Amino acid sequence: MALKGEVIEKIAALLTVAFGLVAALAWNGAIQAIFKAVFGEAENIPAMLVYAVIVTIIAVVVTIWIGRLSEKAKGEETA
């Protein structure tokens, strides 16, 4: 029975990651559209680097924010 629970847990984790990837791709498309609307149809290396830096900064800030929310939620569960 323990193996069955572990398999279900791993499948749930993989499905979560898969949906996360789909969401990330959707956000990537949306952010690219916004970037093109603001900066035009620049397909050159400097524009792509600016896009990559902006997306990286957003990803870092959101990851830190989610981590803090998670820690806060864990703290409230144990309290």
pTM (2 decimals)?
Answer: 0.56
55 by Cβ neighbours in 10 Å (0-12 / 13-18 / 19+) ranks as middle
* pLDDT for residue 75 is more than 90: no
For residue 79 the two structure tokens come to 């309290």
Radius of gyration of the chain (CA): 18
Q: What is the pLDDT of residues 37-72, one digit of tens each?
A: 887 776 677 877 888 898 889 889 988 998 898 888
List, in order, residues 6 or more apart from 58 with CB less than 8 Å away.
31
* pLDDT for residue 26 is more than 90: yes
* pLDDT for residue 22 is more than 80: yes
Instruction: Determine phi and psi for 34, rounding to 5 degrees.
Output: -65, -45
Q: What kind and span of H or E run contains 64? A: helix 45-78
